[in-house]
Structure 1
């Protein structure tokens, strides 16, 4: 059951990051989960572990890391679209 919560919380964090930036994450629900999990890792490395902890995610660093990831991915996707 812990793994399912891990995926759900990762998806919510990825979705929130996309909503905050007003950007769509490629891949839909799977993209949100991946963005949330990778964002949590990035946020943990940059900001450490602080704030609320939900299913192995520290919410604030994970959200900030996911926002950074979504921004970078959307910038790369925008650049690639202009190049073609």
Structure 2
């Protein structure tokens, strides 16, 4: 149970920081930041396993994997939707 909550918090922080990096923070709320962070964690973990044999265990590794995946996810969303900052 606690692990699930920790991953939600890590995903939320990673999603928020990724939205700051990609300059989409004004368009996103806390729920969307959490969703982006969690999906980013899945995407980052998949990419990590695709190219390396590192498992990425530990809280810091999990955070940075989520952050990387969230940035990639937001980049792809901006690419597909054609939204750019005005």
Q: Same fold (TM over 0.5)?
A: yes
1:62 aligns with 2:60: no
TM-score by length of 1: 0.73
Note the C-alpha offset of 1:70: 1.1
1:23 aligns with 2:27: no
1:53 aligns with 2:54: no
Aligned residues: 77
RMSD of aligned alpha carbons: 2.5
Aligned CA distance change for structure 1 residues 46 and 61 (closer, same or farther; 3 Å):
same
Aligned CA distance change for structure 1 residues 5 and 77 (closer, same or farther; 3 Å):
farther
Task: Say which structure is richer in strand.
Answer: 1
TM-score by length of 2: 0.71
Identify the residue that residue 73 of structure 1 maps to in structure 2.
77
- Structure 2 alignment gaps of length 5 or more: 50-54
Q: Deviations over 1:25-63 (max 9, x none)?
A: 75411101110000000011111333x6229x7222221
Q: Give the distance between the partners of 2:15 and 2:59, measured in 1 at CA.
A: 14
